């Protein structure tokens, strides 16, 4: 899962970053590090986010991995 897929999924579900972090059981700083592509972001963050979106009925793996034009 990429930060771009996370952004697109969050927008489709109408969730704020705070709501996503809460639903995924993450601290907002952990989510922010992942979204900023911070090397210190743990891979488990991506797995937790993926599981959260799947549980909400959205398979983010079908979303583009990059934003158009990047």
- Domains belonging to the chain, first-starting first, are 3-57 (1.10.260)
The residues, any chain, with a CB within 8 Å of residue 32's CB and separated by 6 or more, are: 17, 38
* pTM metric for this prediction: 0.84
Per-residue pLDDT reduced to its tens digit, 5-24: 999 999 999 999 999 999 99
- What are the Cα distances from residue 41, in Å, to 30, 35, 59, 61? 7, 9, 22, 19
Q: What is the pLDDT of residue 42?
A: 77
CB atoms within 10 A of CB 70: 7
User: 70: pLDDT confidence band, cut at 50, 70 and 90?
Assistant: very low
């Amino acid at each position: 899962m990429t930060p771009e897929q996370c952004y697109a999924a969050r927008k489709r579900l109408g969730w704020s970053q705070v709501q996503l972090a809460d639903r995924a059981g993450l601290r907002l700083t952990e989510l922010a590090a992942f979204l900023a592509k911070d090397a210190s972001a743990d891979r488990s963050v991506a797995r937790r986010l993926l599981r959260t979106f799947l549980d909400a009925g959205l398979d983010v793996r079908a979303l583009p991995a990059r934003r158009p034009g990047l």
